[in-house]
């Protein structure tokens, strides 16, 4: 290694410059994952809503998607269930029926492959509320009120499980704003919108990324599941100029610890929701979605690819 700084400030500034000089079209393209995420989030709710209220059917007498995000049935055949809810119900001492266990296993398996917090970024409707609050907060001069350890969510998770045993009801399900929102949209809101307003104000004025990034036990649960995920954000250390723009847009910036990423070559932390903000934004294209087993094959190749391009140019 040379004695010169590995990542000169000038290179980083050039990268930031590049970001600011983007054309309008490039800016819109960089929102592609946000648009896709809103489409999956509300698309799934629309399938539930359409089945519940407009009688959407795949075939005669085969409802398309019944239930909600806590438990559902696709095409009247494939059961799905929120494994965290099922775990809580299990802890209350209720003997669960086979269908909910199969459903929970299917959902758990799916997210264990694509990334646990893909639920948070791509499915959970509360994410749309907190994203809006986060986006506004970046644009308003709102000072930091206090800092909270992000690991507090794991204590909330543990509390939810312990309380399920003590009270005999699924502790989080009875107070969950996530449940209030998707149930509310599909089956009738009641006063659930108040909880959502509270979360919005909390995230906007009190704590940045407060709910999803610090408190939500469901997110904590999916973070733990996500450690095995196959789809991960790959990091290319050769092209990265350490401009830090990725961490600015990331709702969980601690997962983008570049020193760690240089060693691992990809985002290891389970808290990453694969939301794609950083990959779409990175001015040097150093962050990209990839399959974990292929990352190490791609990683050394990234240097070789640049060499090949240089060879072509000369």
Partner 1 sequence: MSVKNIARRDFLAKVAQGTAVAACGGLLWDYLLRQEVRAHPYALRPPGALAEADFHAACIKCGQCVNACPYDTLKLAGAGGDMPIGTPYFTPREVPCYLCPDIPCMKACPTGALSPQLKDVNDSRMGLAVIDLENCLSWKGLRCEICYRECPLQGRAIVLETHPRGISKHAMFFPIVHSDACTGCGICEKACPTTEAAIRILPHKLVQGKIGEHYRLGWIEKNEITQEFKPAAPEAPAKPGKKAPGMDYLNEGAP
- In the complex, minimum distance from the CB of residue 115 to partner 1, in angstroms, rounded to a whole number: 24
In order, the DSSP letters of 195-262 are: HHHHHHHIIIII-TTHIIIII-HHHHHHHHHGGG-SEEEEE-TTT-----HHHHH-SSGGGG-HHHHH
Select from 113, 118, 218 the least CA-distant residue to 160.
Answer: 218
CB closer to partner 1 out of 195 and 243: 195
Q: What are phi and psi of 119, to 5 degrees?
A: -55, -50
Nearer to partner 1, 7 or 94 (CB): 94
Instruction: Give least dist CB 71 to partner 1, A.
Output: 3
Beta strands 65-68; 62-63: pairing state: unpaired
- Which residue lies nearer to partner 1 by CB, 55 or 143? 55
As measured in angstroms, the least distance from the Cβ of 172 to partner 1 is 9
Q: What is the DSSP string of 95-126?
A: ---HHHHHHHHHHHHHHHHH-TTHIIIII-TH
CA distance 310 to 90: 59
Closer to partner 1 by Cβ: residue 37 or 182? 182
Please report, as ranges, the residues that interact with partner 1 according to CB under 8 A: 51-52, 63, 66-68, 70-73, 79, 81-82, 85-86, 89, 92-97, 99-100, 103, 149, 151-152, 154-156, 158-159, 162-163, 166-171, 173-175, 179-180, 183-184, 186-192, 194-195
Least CB distance from residue 275 to partner 1, whole Å? 26
Q: What is the rounded CA–CA span in Å between residue 22 and residue 11?
A: 17
Determine which helix (DSSP H) or strand (DSSP E) holds 129, and give its type and residue range: helix 126-139
Q: Nearest approach, Cβ of 92 to partner 1 (angstroms)?
A: 4
Closer CB to partner 1, residue 65 or residue 250?
A: 65
Q: Which residue, 177 or 283, is less far from partner 1 as judged by CB? A: 177
Task: Give min distance, CB of 139 to partner 1, in A.
Answer: 30
């Amino acid at each position: 290694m040379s004695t010169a700084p590995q990542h000169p400030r000038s290179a980083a500034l050039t990268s930031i410059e590049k970001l600011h000089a983007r054309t309008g079209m490039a800016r819109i393209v960089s929102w592609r994952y946000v648009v896709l995420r809103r489409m999956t989030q509300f698309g799934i709710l629309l399938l539930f809503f359409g089945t519940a209220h407009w009688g959407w059917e795949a075939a005669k007498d085969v409802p398309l998607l019944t239930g909600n995000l806590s438990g559902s049935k696709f095409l009247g055949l494939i059961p799905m269930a929120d494994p965290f809810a099922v775990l809580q119900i299990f802890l209350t001492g209720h003997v669960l029926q086979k269908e909910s266990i199969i459903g929970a296993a299917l959902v758990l398996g799916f997210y264990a492959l694509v990334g646990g917090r893909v639920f948070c970024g791509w499915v959970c409707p509360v994410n749309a509320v907190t994203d809006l609050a986060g986006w506004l907060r970046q644009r308003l001069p709102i000072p930091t009120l206090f800092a909270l350890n992000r690991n507090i969510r794991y204590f909330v998770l543990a509390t939810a499980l312990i309380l399920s045993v003590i009270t005999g009801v699924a502790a989080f399900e009875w107070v969950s704003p996530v449940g209030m929102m998707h149930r509310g949209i599909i089956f009738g809101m009641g006063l659930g919108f108040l909880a959502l307003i509270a979360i919005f104000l909390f995230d906007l004025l009190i704590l940045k990324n407060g709910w999803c990034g610090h408190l939500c036990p469901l997110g904590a649960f999916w973070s733990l599941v996500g450690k095995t995920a196959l789809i991960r954000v790959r990091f290319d250390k050769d092209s990265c100029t350490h401009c830090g723009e990725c961490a600015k847009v990331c709702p969980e910036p601690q997962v983008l610890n570049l020193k760690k990423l240089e060693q691992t070559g990809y985002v290891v932390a389970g808290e990453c929701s694969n939301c794609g903000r950083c990959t779409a934004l990175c001015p040097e294209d150093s962050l990209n979605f990839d399959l974990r087993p292929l990352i190490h094959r791609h990683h050394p190749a990234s240097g070789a690819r640049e060499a090949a391009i240089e060879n072509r140019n000369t």
